[in-house]
Amino acid sequence: MSERIGIGEGGKTIRQMMEENERLYLETGCYAGITEPHLLKEDPVKGELFHSRIMASLIAGRETTRMVSGSPFVREVAELCLGIYTPEGDNIAQSTGIQIHIKLMGDNIQWMINKNYEEEVGINDGDFFIANEPVISGMHAADVYDILPIFWEDELIGWVSTVIMEMDIGAVSPGLMPTANVERGTDGLKFCCERIGSNDKLNRDFEHKIEICLDMSDIFLLDRKGAIAANIRVREDIKRIIGEFGLDYYKRATRELIEEERRNQIVRIKQRMVPGRYRGVVPAEFPMADQPVSWIPAKRDTIRLIPIQMDVLPSAGLVLDFEGIGEWGWHPFNGTPQAVWGGVSIVTVQTLAYDGRGNLGSLLPIEVKEPPIDSLFNPSQIKKLATSTPWAPLLDVFGMWTHLLGIAFYLRGFREETFNYRSSAGWQMAGYDQMGNKRPLLAAGTGYFGPGACGVCDGVDCGGWLATPEVDMGSAEVWELFVPQMELSHRLEPYSVGYGRFRSGLAVPTVVMIHRSQQLVGSGALGTASDGIIPNLGQFGGYPGGRRNNLLLRYDNLPELMEKRQPLLHEVGHPADLKDRFPGQVFDVGLIPVPTEIYEGDMLLSVSTAAGGLGDPIERDPAWITADMDNGLTTEWQASNIYCVKARYDEEEKRWKVDEVATRELREAKRKERLSRGVPVKEWWQRYRQRLMDRDMDDKILEMYQSSMRLSEAFTREFKDFWAMPDDLNL
């Protein structure tokens, strides 16, 4: 027997194993060179049993984390996920939850392998590692990974990793997704795959550090302990599984699961999509001019263009390309190529690979072309740049990808698979909670989003969120234990809708009153960066969803209102006339509110957006519209002006009824009006070309195009060709 050099199979180092794995994949096109997954084929029942054992362990592990955790994110809305990995860091299986991290957790492991942790840091049975630096891997700093190696005797045979989204990472501005940080040092506490425990014990010095640095140290530590307890449980389960199935079977079958899934994914793409090129574009706004940042050049508002192109290849591969994306900026919304993979993962498992066998194999047929160097999603040259909140543009980008996938499914006849996502959220706060503790706080409460219309029915009201398939808004009575607020409304907001023959789901806005806090600062919203310029997610004639509004409302005399039993604000209604309806001051604080002092009794509003509708709204069945009106989900104005349905309220029967004759006339008139507005494409093109030549546009839009052109010759060429611009003319 040869003397062991590395901790991998047969005395190899795990870096050697990883390199060999990559070589085999390149040579054969099959994961780990497995051209024939015979083990799973020869005895499929045994294979099924093996997979279900691993899944059972991961799901039970996830429940362990939920029970131990101190965070409502974990307990109430399950913002966590567990995955099991090969020694090379490739995902074999994962629990339910935020499945963004299939590849990201593995990328952390592979970073450790590439940095030669095996020799320079040491990887031992019983070690705990922690990571949350998106430059290594991850979506944003709030996602904290706990990683544990699994040894069988003295051989490393895999890893288990848990990810939890934390409420507090100690950033310079309030919240878990800070918005007033522009340099990496202000993102909050960062961990670069650091060892925080050994021999199954958490290091006491790590606990001291957290207790000193974080306002919510107890919750952060309990989350670590929950994650580590789950990891240990899974590790021990895996040892039991190996005891039952044998080590050789385990090693081979885990790799066959990945290869089998790669093949399954190709079949799904072939079955459900039409080959071709699908394109969309997202304009992302980064309003930083008024943010209190110390790095003065950061104080400017910018817009960046993010084109997204999906090629469905005849070979059933998918290629995503961001050619034409604009440049990075001094703001926290920069992403990394790894973060882009997070979006790819979560959309993939919700649209294609949802049969419970999702793993790295689901992603292997997908190629993501590396975004250009120095672009918003690849700011590699700027080492100190903030990358804490890339969700803002990424939510829109991957909402757009669901839209493109939906078109591809629809064209193939899978109408019921068509839908899309759009997301936004509300305020964040920092200050003193109702118990007198200073801490970052989230005011999103239980507000939630409306996903887009499906190809055969309306979207699910308050039931969709791109980041996790297990959408849940939690309980107000639990949220209010943590945040000095009272939720005053859970009403579905009619104006959040994306109109269409099938409408989007409606959103529930955040409507909270600040309660029992000595001092608070409200600031930047987490979520999307596209509420100023809404990306068109309406499908086949459907409209995009509504605009998000962030408002701060201050009653003139709240005690008097209550004394006189006058109405408080429980319904948002149309934001345009809110000023007339609200007995006090209304401040529109913009897309990403700058830090603002807020007081007891103040109300924070954030109307979440819904995604797009599908089909022409004037083809919507009038009976569905009156049914929505009966439930307060569609207003009379919307019925008449958007859906062109004339309805009257029957006082006796207490329900809305359609006036069929008036409706027919209204719809006919709308069709005629549309025709009268229409112009030939050529005419439209000439008019807009002239505007371009005259630079007749907002400075920020002009700079947006300039930014994309600075990075991409191909984009510049296509843009100029389309608009027939002279070669020597630059915008």
Residue 533 interacts with other proteins (CB under 8 A): yes or no: no
Task: Name the residue nearer to other proteins (CB basis): 364 or 603.
Answer: 603
Task: Name the residue nearer to other proteins (CB basis): 149 or 329.
Answer: 149
The single residue among 98, 102, 385, 492 that binds other proteins, judged by CB under 8 A, is: 492
Contact 516, 434 (CB under 8 A): yes
3-state SS string for 556-592: CCHHHHHHCCCCCCCCCCCHHHHHHHCCEEEEECCCC
- Please state the separation of Cα 272 from the chain's center in Å: 24
The single residue among 4, 10, 56, 248 that binds other proteins, judged by CB under 8 A, is: 56
Task: Name the residue nearer to other proteins (CB basis): 334 or 510.
Answer: 510
Task: Name the residue nearer to other proteins (CB basis): 336 or 418.
Answer: 418
Task: Name the residue nearer to other proteins (CB basis): 67 or 669.
Answer: 67
Residues 6+ apart with CB under 8 A from 551: 575, 578, 586, 587, 588, 589, 604, 605, 606
Contacts of other proteins in 114-133 (CB under 8 A)? none
The single residue among 488, 525, 551, 692 that binds other proteins, judged by CB under 8 A, is: 488
The single residue among 124, 434, 536, 635 that binds other proteins, judged by CB under 8 A, is: 434
Per the rule left: phi > 0, alpha: psi between -120 and 50, beta: everything else, 8 is: beta
Residue 98 interacts with other proteins (CB under 8 A): yes or no: no
Residues 6+ apart with CB under 8 A from 25: 31, 32, 33
Task: Name the residue nearer to other proteins (CB basis): 45 or 675.
Answer: 45
- Please state the separation of Cα 252 from the chain's center in Å: 34
Contact 647, 636 (CB under 8 A): yes
Task: Name the residue nearer to other proteins (CB basis): 17 or 429.
Answer: 429
Q: With residue 657 as reference, give the H or E element that holds it.
A: strand 655-658
- The minimum distance between CB 559 and other proteins, in angstroms, equals 10
Q: Which of 552, 583, 587 is nearest to 566 (CA)?
A: 583
The single residue among 15, 75, 667, 700 that binds other proteins, judged by CB under 8 A, is: 75
Rounded CA-CA distance 220/313 in Å is 45
Residue 344 interacts with other proteins (CB under 8 A): yes or no: no
Contact 557, 456 (CB under 8 A): no
- The minimum distance between CB 317 and other proteins, in angstroms, equals 22
Contacts of other proteins in 385-424 (CB under 8 A)? 416-419
Contact 193, 112 (CB under 8 A): yes
Contact 419, 215 (CB under 8 A): no
The single residue among 192, 202, 281, 319 that binds other proteins, judged by CB under 8 A, is: 202
Segment near other proteins (CB under 8 A); pick from 293-301, 326-334, 484-492, 709-717? 484-492
Task: Name the residue nearer to other proteins (CB basis): 207 or 370.
Answer: 207
Contacts of other proteins in 180-199 (CB under 8 A)? 197
Per the structure block, which two tokens stand in for 236?
A: 């021990």
Contacts of other proteins in 553-612 (CB under 8 A)? 562, 565, 567-568, 570-571
Segment near other proteins (CB under 8 A); pick from 57-65, 301-309, 604-612, 714-722? 57-65
Q: Is 364 in a helix, a strand, or coil?
A: coil
The single residue among 18, 68, 318, 692 that binds other proteins, judged by CB under 8 A, is: 68
Contacts of other proteins in 140-159 (CB under 8 A)? none
Task: Name the residue nearer to other proteins (CB basis): 30 or 483.
Answer: 483
One-character DSSP codes across 74-88? HHTT--EEEEEE-TT
Task: Name the residue nearer to other proteins (CB basis): 9 or 600.
Answer: 600
Binding track, positions 225-264, relative to other proteins; x by CB under 8 A: xx-xx--xx-------------------------------
Task: Name the residue nearer to other proteins (CB basis): 570 or 671.
Answer: 570
- The minimum distance between CB 325 and other proteins, in angstroms, equals 27
Angle between helix 699-711 and 713-723 (nearest 10) = 130
Q: Are strands 549-555 and 584-588 parallel, antiparallel or unpaired?
A: antiparallel
The size of the interface with other proteins (CB under 8 A), counted in residues, is 94
Segment near other proteins (CB under 8 A); pick from 274-282, 317-325, 483-491, 642-650? 483-491
Contact 506, 492 (CB under 8 A): yes
